[in-house]
Amino acid sequence: MNCSMALNAKKEPRILVTRADRIGDLVLSTAVFPVIRKKYPHARLGCLTFLENREIVEGNPYLDEVILYDKKGAERGFFGNLRFAWSLRKKKYDVVIHLHATNRMHFAGWLAGIPVRIGWDRRSPWALTRVYSDIKKEGKKHEAEYNFLPLESLGIECPEKLETYFPVPEKAQRSLEDLLRHFNVPQNIPIVTVNPAASDLTKMWPLGKFRELLEKMTAVYPVSVIGIGSRQDREHVRQAAGGLPRVYDLSGHLSLAMLGALLKKSRLLISNDSGPVHIAQALGVNTVSIFVRNQPGLSPERWRPLYENARVLCGQGDDMASVPSGVKALREVTVDEVMVAAGTFLQPLTREASRL
Q: Over the stretch 179-213, which tens digit does the pLDDT of each residue have?
A: 999 999 998 999 999 999 998 888 899 999 999 99
* Span 254-280, pLDDT tens digits: 999 999 999 999 999 999 999 999 999
Domain-located, residue 252: yes
- Directed axis angle between helix 170-182 and helix 256-265, to 10°? 80
Domain-located, residue 137: yes
315 and 341 housed in the same domain: yes
Strand ranges of the sheet holding 65-69, from the earlier edge strand across to the other edge:
65-69, 44-50, 14-18, 95-98, 116-120, 130-132
88 within 8 A of 96, measured Cβ to Cβ: no
Q: What is the pLDDT of residue 146?
A: 97
Q: What is the pLDDT of residue 292?
A: 86
181 and 62 housed in the same domain: no
Domain that holds residue 96: 3-154
CATH number for the domain including 290? 3.40.50.2000
Q: At 336, which amino acid appears?
A: D
154 within 8 A of 15, measured Cβ to Cβ: yes
Domain-located, residue 159: no
User: In 3-state terms, what secondary structure has residue 248?
Assistant: strand
Q: What is the pLDDT of residue 332?
A: 79
Domain-located, residue 20: yes
CA 129 to chain centre: 28
Q: What is the pLDDT of residue 330?
A: 54
- Which residues are 191's β-sheet partners? 224
* Span 56-76, pLDDT tens digits: 999 999 999 999 999 999 898
130 and 174 housed in the same domain: no
Q: How far is CA 234 from CA 68, 84, 253, in A?
A: 27, 34, 10
61 and 134 housed in the same domain: yes
* Span 298-341, pLDDT tens digits: 889 999 999 999 999 987 654 444 444 444 455 679 999 999 99
Which residue would you say has higher pLDDT here, 355 or 173?
173
Q: Which of 154, 186, 220 is the last residue of a domain?
A: 154
Q: What percent of the chain has pLDDT over 90?
A: 80
268 and 315 housed in the same domain: yes
